[in-house]
């Protein structure tokens, strides 16, 4: 994608990876609009970044998505980048009872949220001289973390959806890019300084460089071997990964 001259809407843009990208794009002179559920956090982000705009959005509410899309088209007619970033990551235990309400919340936020948000804006994006959809999946789409089984599945599903979406948009002016972050040191899990987690600034810088190309998928070098899943040996890789985390758990 072109990294400048855009009007960019970022869901889940008040903290962590979302805020990091919002501020990176803002520094490049793009018009950035961040969305989130909490007005106080939206105000904090925009106060720290003069010129950035914000809008309240509960990505789990289809009516809210429709209303926000209408507002965006009206107030920001040059909107040409949708960054589907909002997500939640509760831990679970697939060997026992999965809380149905929690599972539905994960799937509604992480999978249906991007599908619904894109659907609400897709015709507007198609009408732009150039446009980009960025879907934030996860390296866990390719290497599931057993203690976040539903989250990992939601990201695998969004990856599959992105592949289909990109193909179906191939004859339009809308390109689709996917980012698949590793464990980044943010509050999505717990910001702890764990050396296994990639520092946020390093992740944003490397991923922005990738987004500035025509790459369909942007993965930081540290997890490229994970993305290049070893096919028939996948089971051994997944088991070894999760066994290592049992021995040295993620702080929660």
**How far is 27 from 18, CA to CA, in rounded Å?**
14
Report the residue count for the chain.
Answer: 252
β-partners of residue 8 are 32, 81
**How far is 120 from 85, CA to CA, in rounded Å?**
16
- Find, among 129, 128, 18, 148, the residue nearest to 84 by Cα: 18
Locate all alpha helices (DSSP H) within the chain, ordered by sequence: 16-27, 39-48, 62-75, 100-107, 113-126, 149-168, 200-211, 224-227, 234-247
E strand or H helix that includes residue 178 = strand 174-179
Please identify which of the residues 9, 25, 151, 183 carries the catalytic annotation: 151
Whether 161 is a known active-site residue: answer no
Residue 73 CB partners (closer than 8 Å, separation 6+): 79, 121, 124
Whether the Cβ atoms of residue 89 and residue 136 lie closer than 8 Å to each other: no
CA 20, 11, 91, 163 torsion-angle sign: negative
Which residues are part of the catalytic machinery? 151
């Amino acid at each position: 994608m072109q990294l400048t001259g855009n009007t960019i809407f970022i869901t889940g843009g008040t903290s962590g990876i979302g805020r990091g990208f919002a501020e990176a794009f803002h520094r490049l002179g793009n018009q950035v609009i961040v969305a989130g559920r909490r007005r106080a956090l939206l105000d904090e982000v925009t106060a720290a970044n003069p010129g950035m705009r914000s809008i309240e959005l509960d990505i789990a509410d289809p009516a809210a998505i429709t209303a926000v899309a209408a507002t965006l088209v009206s107030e920001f007619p040059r909107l040409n980048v949708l960054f589907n970033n909002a997500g939640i990551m509760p831990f679970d235990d697939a060997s026992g009872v999965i809380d149905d309400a929690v599972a539905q919340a994960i799937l509604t936020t992480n999978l249906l949220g991007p599908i619904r948000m894109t659907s609400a804006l897709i015709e507007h994006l198609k009408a732009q001289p150039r446009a980009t959809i960025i879907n934030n999946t996860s390296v866990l789409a390719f290497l599931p973390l057993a203690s976040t089984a539903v989250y990992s599945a939601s990201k695998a599903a969004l990856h599959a959806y992105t592949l289909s979406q990109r193909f179906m948009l191939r004859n339009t002016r809308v390109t689709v890019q996917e980012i698949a972050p590793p464990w980044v040191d943010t509050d999505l899990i717990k910001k702890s300084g764990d050396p296994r987690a990639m520092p946020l600034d390093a992740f944003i810088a490397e991923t922005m460089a990738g987004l500035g190309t025509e790459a369909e998928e942007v993965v930081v070098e540290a997890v490229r071997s994970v993305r290049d899943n070893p096919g028939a040996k996948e089971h051994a890789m997944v088991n070894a990964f999760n066994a290592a985390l049992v021995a040295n758990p993620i702080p929660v």
